[in-house]
Amino acid sequence: MRSLVTLVAVCLAGTAFGQAPDTVFLEELTWTEVRDAVAAGTTTIIIPTGGTEQNGPHMVLGKHNYLVRHKAEETARRLGDALVAPVMAYVPEGNVDPPSGHMRFPGTITTPPEVFEQVLEHAARSLAQHGFVDIALMGDSGGNQRSQAAVAERLNAEWADGPARVHHLTDYYPGRGDEWLVEQGERAEDVGTHAGMHDTSTLLFLDPSKIRLDRMEPGSAGNGVNGTPSRSRAEYGEQILEMQIEAAVSQIRRLRTSSRGQ
């Protein structure tokens, strides 16, 4: 009996009885908490899309997933009336056989664009069915952008006479990070285009345990890096993250009105 009482006390310690937890993540809520949040006006939801791909010898495969989850959470909290759907971690990364793109490196997981679009579309349809009227697609990888735009265009045409809209966040990715790094005096070739200074700096700020500091190699044909990750700094990453979050917040606010012709 004593152990049961202790278990109940532990379960209630973090969350007051009958009160929803302080989270914006859909998967951390019960269905009744989601129902009540929507009824109270939380009708915006962000679908983050990341990826499971090679990021050089120094950075973990799930880089995009960690980064986009953080940025989606911060965006939702600043909006004040938004939730975040689970991160989509399986996205287009190249062909399987023969392997192309990031699929040339072990650990990468790919899906065909049409499959990615079907999953994204049905996620949006599910959320609209539950009362969300602004569904924002936050894609953290270049390979996700075309499919997100296609899904948004397709569903918005179908839903033109209804309340729901899908927003493909073009201001969020890639954002001004690369340009800003050059403005700080960094060379464009050091900034790079993949697993270089931009992504490495942001993950270095968010969670340095996901970076192998002793494996920061300059880009070469065989290591999957384009740029010079050793020039990355957590201070750079903090600023880049802030710029992306603010861009997402601003665009969502704007689209919630402009997408309905107001």
Question: Which pTM does this prediction carry?
Answer: 0.92
Of the two residues 69 and 18, the one the predictor is more confident about is: 69
Query: How is domain 21-174+245-258 classified at the CATH fold level?
Result: Rossmann fold (3.40.50)
Tens of pLDDT, residues 54-64: 999 999 999 99
Q: Round to whole Å and give the CA distance between 76 and 2.
A: 41
Express each pLDDT in 149-169 by its tens digit. Answer: 999 999 999 999 999 999 999
Nearest to 134 by CA among 68, 38, 28, 64: 38
Extract the tokens encoding 120: 């994204």
Instruction: Count CA atoms closer than 13 A to 60's CA, side-chain side.
Output: 15
Confidence check: pLDDT of 17 > 70: no
State yes or no: pLDDT of 122 exceeds 90: yes
CB-based contact 60:210 (threshold 8 Å) = yes
Tell me the per-residue pLDDT of 161-205, one tens digit each, with 9 for 90 and over: 999 999 999 999 989 999 999 999 999 999 999 999 999 999 999
Greatest CA span in the chain, whole angstroms?
Answer: 66
Q: Is the pLDDT reported for residue 5 higher than 60? A: no
Backbone angles phi and psi of 229, in degrees to 5: -60, -25
Interior angle at CA 149, CA 143 and CA 152, nearest 5? 135
